[in-house]
């Protein structure tokens, strides 16, 4: 597993809303549900990817969308940034960029664990996704 893949490990989740409503007419609204520091991900978690914007075609299925996202995660495009700070750091100082991403991931892991530790198991409410939503753990992007 490459360093980049480790940096974008299973904490990263995708969420696609309105997949059923107008899926063929317009691309699904796909976004990461956790904080990301990545050249092609906006602050709200939405992804800067041509097939989810101007190059959308009804022929794209969920598999092709996920393959495109996986490709973007493995090979970011800093020349078309959604996050200019991440793109600049990625281009100018990859080591510092990777350090920043690792720290963010560690912070998220600690926050997730704290939330679990603070709640009684009986009180933990499991959220069920709506029928028109898909949540995908990023570990599946690297298969």
Q: Does residue 122 fall inside a structural domain?
A: no
Q: What are phi and psi of 112, to 5 degrees?
A: -60, -45
pLDDT of amino acid 84: 97
Query: For the segment 98-125, what is each residue's pLDDT rounded down to a tens digit?
Result: 999 889 888 877 776 665 555 544 444 4
Name the band, by pLDDT with cuts 50, 70 and 90, for residue 143: very low
Beta-carbon neighbour count of residue 20 at 10 Å? 12
Owning domain of residue 31:
3-115+131-142
C-alpha–C-alpha distance, residues 112 and 19, integer Å = 27
Specify whether 48 is catalytic: yes
Q: Does residue 125 fall inside a structural domain?
A: no
- Residue 100 belongs to domain with CATH number: 3.10.110.10
Which entry of 14, 48, 66, 105 is annotated as an active-site residue? 48
pLDDT of amino acid 120: 46
What pTM does this model have? 0.67
Q: What are phi and psi of 118, to 5 degrees?
A: -75, -20
Q: What are phi and psi of 7, to 5 degrees?
A: -65, -30
Q: Does residue 32 fall inside a structural domain?
A: yes
Query: For the segment 73-84, what is each residue's pLDDT rounded down to a tens digit?
Result: 889 999 999 999
Q: What average pLDDT score do residues 122-135 get?
A: 45
- In this structure, what token pair is assigned to residue 92? 């100018």
HSE, side-chain direction, 13 A CA sphere, residue 28: 25
Q: Give which of 16, 21, 17 is closest to 68, Cα–Cα.
A: 16
Q: Could you give the number of structural domains in the chain?
A: 1
- In this structure, what token pair is assigned to residue 141? 């992007």
pLDDT of amino acid 19: 54
């Amino acid at each position: 597993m490459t360093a980049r893949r480790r940096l974008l490990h299973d904490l990263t989740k995708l969420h696609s809303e309105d997949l059923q409503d107008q899926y063929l007419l317009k691309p699904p609204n796909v976004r990461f549900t956790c904080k990301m520091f990545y050249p092609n991900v906006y602050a709200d978690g939405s992804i800067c990817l041509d097939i989810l914007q101007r190059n959308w075609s009804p022929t794209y299925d969920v598999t092709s969308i996920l393959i495109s996202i996986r490709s973007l995660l493995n090979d970011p495009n800093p020349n078309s940034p959604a996050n200019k700070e991440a793109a600049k750091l990625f281009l100018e100082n990859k080591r510092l960029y990777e350090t920043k991403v690792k720290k963010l991931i560690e912070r998220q892991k600690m926050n997730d664990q704290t939330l679990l530790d603070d709640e009684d198991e009986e009180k933990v409410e499991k959220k069920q996704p709506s029928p028109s939503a898909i949540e995908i753990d990023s570990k599946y992007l690297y298969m």
